[in-house]
Structure 1
């Protein structure tokens, strides 16, 4: 790891195990995944307390990059916050320049030395983002060097957005709407010509009375019922074959690297034999989010979020309850099902009325209680780490897991989810 204390002899060296990370999706105008903002937080305990979050960011970037940046962002762009001190370090030797956007911190001052450093990094292929309210005044000199301007659409008056958005577009800047929390905020930003959108508006359920499942979703649900009711393999295979798109999609999914099959699975019978019932149920749950008609649209981030949650909860349960073989399967189900209210546009209690689940799953999904509820709360806190980072450390203590272990499990979940979505869409 690089030593970021070179400019401050009194500063303690940073230790990776003091940090945990969050990953927030950035979507394009079609609501397909474009990138992620990577958010790093230092664990506020221990002898080497680090108060500078951006220095903490640099330390964890170095570690994450050594583990493989593709595990963190897959094929997407990574937006990383940096301040003036970090910009002057050699941290960027760890980063793939064509895949990373350096997001300039709000307190950075546009000194000649900083501008020169940004030009140097740009020559290596790095791009930059700047917040709109800091792209004026003394920092206006940085604007020609940046490609993206981010604007907080949740807290900025619509009249201000209407005034500034055309100005930045005139200067050929890509506009990123951040903190998009409602469908209305998304629509307003879309109408104003914003190019990218960051926030969890897409994961909030929009309840639609009388909404019915699509034919493909119904087919998957019926198949899940057969699997869980111990129907024999020939009956399940016949049910799959009745829906050609379902059969093709299932074969595509079970041949992803995420399955880890040692040989290619070419037939439904082979898939049923090699996967087993619990694994088949898992892929059916994923397929609910991967409808062919929704590809490239709003289901993409929802599929990514659901598979990441499911895998992270599975890995946590495996680590924390190694002697309970079914705990990992239950945890995966909780993670996947936790977004079905958004997927179906129905209240969770109505969904559970149609999909029988055990009491511990229902408690986790409805009340966030019990062991699986604690895991789900931790995953949701990591997703919204800017607002909920105060919940992460108590959750880690309650579960008796270190921040270092959590980061490793997160990276594994990110990598697995990216493989699933890449092949599912």
Structure 2
């Protein structure tokens, strides 16, 4: 896998960053990403997410980088207003991989409806954004779109069921957006929603008296062995004690090293080929695998954690290019930052089971220190919040908005490559 930060052509207005918001299916696996561009720094008051400039930026970067680098095999939802819908540059987007999301500010005039029909004939699919009530005005758009997005935070709980019934049509899918808790997800699941958008999957759902599972303890113990520079035989013996770790390790090495007529069945050979640095990273990724299961990179939590890890590693290499040890530490901070949500155990309890450096603990618990600052940057990028916190955090790290955007694209690409390798 290569992690070089790609060169991205500078646009006239280059002070913006990309946020990818996961969209899940009923199985809670990734279905798509909504791509959002946000103005940063001094331009933040001009929120370009809802403008033609934002979509132009999406199209420009998609054509330069390839949509696969940004969203992989998933679909991409891209916001469009009336200006974008009526423009020619929307046709530069790949119809097979893009859902054009019609913003709630769009008025369904006969001219606009005719344009939607024209684009549908070219293969484009559509979603209707931010529906909070049914009206005859939106009915004409509902008839043409493929997916209807309901903002569940804008609808009273008592009215959500009736709105869902009013919007349901044959061949139409319903998407619940701004789903922030497990309870909200369960309610929308019961109401028959097909897709879900929001960060409920990344919110810690603490269970009273919950202990870390034996398989997780085994992985944490292996990480400790690697940190203490244990010899190869000790590490091999420890890996063999856990069948799940052994099987997933062999699966990874075979996906990377397989050649015609060659298969690696020896754990010792696998460990030699993988190397300690990659073994450590693979074990950290395995923390996001349910007990008894194999690694599934369609898990939005695992994708987010892997992306955070690579983001922080690349940030560290940019800030201190001659310190690979710091880059490894940064990767650890990023990927471990979501274990609380995966294990349903407080971060303090997780860190009691693994010996981490003081700066790692400070970053994970308090978001302090250089690595904590990097983690804050990753969290701002994920949530597409105001650009001011991003600019302030980047200034402390000595990074520019363009540099972090290039780093972000490189991290997306790395996760996509990793996802291909384990399937």
Flag whether TM exceeds 0.5 (same fold). Answer: yes
Structure 1 SS opposite 2:349:
helix
Q: Which has the higher contact order (CA 8 A, sep 6+)?
A: 2
Tell me how far 1:343 sits from its aligned partner.
Answer: 1.4
Quote the Cα distance in structure 2 between the aligned partners of 1:347 and 1:414.
28
Task: Name the residue aligned to 1:412.
Answer: 410
Listed as ranges, the gaps of 5+ residues in structure 2 are 1-9
Quote the Cα distance in structure 2 between the aligned partners of 1:89 and 1:235.
63
TM-score of the superposed pair, with normalisation by structure 1: 0.88
Quote the Cα distance in structure 1 between the aligned partners of 2:324 and 2:180.
38
> Which aligned pairs between 1:67-146 and structure 2 lie closer than 5 A?
67-131=65-129, 132-133=131-132, 136-146=135-145
Quote the Cα distance in structure 1 between the aligned partners of 2:190 and 2:417.
33
Task: Name the residue aligned to 1:198.
Answer: 197
Structure 2 SS opposite 1:37:
strand
TM-score of the superposed pair, with normalisation by structure 2: 0.89
Structure 2 SS opposite 1:326:
helix
Contact kept in structure 2, 1:31 and 1:298, CA below 8 Å: no
Q: Relative to 1, partners in 2 of residues 1:277 and 1:181: Cα closer, same or farther, differing over 3 Å?
A: same
Quote the Cα distance in structure 1 between the aligned partners of 2:147 and 2:298.
25
Report the RMSD for the aligned CA atoms in angstroms.
Answer: 2.8
Moved more, 291-300 or 53-62: 291-300
Quote the Cα distance in structure 1 between the aligned partners of 2:87 and 2:258.
39
Q: Relative to 1, partners in 2 of residues 1:139 and 1:249: Cα closer, same or farther, differing over 3 Å?
A: same
Contact kept in structure 2, 1:312 and 1:410, CA below 8 Å: yes
Structure 2 SS opposite 1:177:
strand
Contact kept in structure 2, 1:30 and 1:297, CA below 8 Å: no
Tell me how far 1:91 sits from its aligned partner.
Answer: 2.5
Contact kept in structure 2, 1:30 and 1:298, CA below 8 Å: no
Task: Name the residue aligned to 1:157.
Answer: 156
Are 1:41 and 2:38 an aligned pair?
Answer: yes
Quote the Cα distance in structure 2 between the aligned partners of 1:296 and 1:89.
43
Listed as ranges, the gaps of 5+ residues in structure 1 are 1-12
Q: Deviations over 1:83-141 (max 9, x none)?
A: 01111222233322111111111111112221121111111211111132376343321
How many residues align structurally?
409
Structure 2 SS opposite 1:354:
coil
Contact kept in structure 1, 2:308 and 2:378, CA below 8 Å: yes
Structure 1 SS opposite 2:126:
strand
Structure 1 SS opposite 2:331:
helix
Quote the Cα distance in structure 1 between the aligned partners of 2:226 and 2:297.
28
Q: 1:21 aligns with which of 1, 18, 21?
A: 18
Structure 2 SS opposite 1:146:
coil
> Which aligned pairs between 1:164-183 and structure 2 lie closer than 5 A?
164-183=163-182
Q: Relative to 1, partners in 2 of residues 1:183 and 1:297: Cα closer, same or farther, differing over 3 Å?
A: farther
Q: Relative to 1, partners in 2 of residues 1:117 and 1:311: Cα closer, same or farther, differing over 3 Å?
A: same
